[in-house]
Amino acid sequence: MGALRKRSVNLSGHATSLALEPAFWEALEAMAAAEGRSLAGLIGALDLGRGDQPLASACRVAALAWARGLATAARPMSA
Whole-model pTM? 0.84
60-75: average pLDDT = 86
Can you state the angle between helices 55-74 and 39-49, rounded to 10 degrees? 110
Q: Reply yes or no on whether the pLDDT at 17 is more than 80.
A: yes
Which residue segment(s) compose the domain that 30 sits in? 24-74
Q: How many structural domains compose the chain?
A: 1
Q: Which of 52, 49, 55, 53 is nearest to 7 (CA)?
A: 55
59 within some domain: yes
3-class DSSP assignment, residue 14: strand
Contact 60, 23 (CB under 8 A): no
Q: Which residues contact 58 (CB under 8 A, 6 or more apart)?
A: 46, 47, 49, 50
Whole-number average pLDDT of the chain: 90
Q: How confident is the model at residue 72 (pLDDT cuts 50, 70, 90)?
A: confident
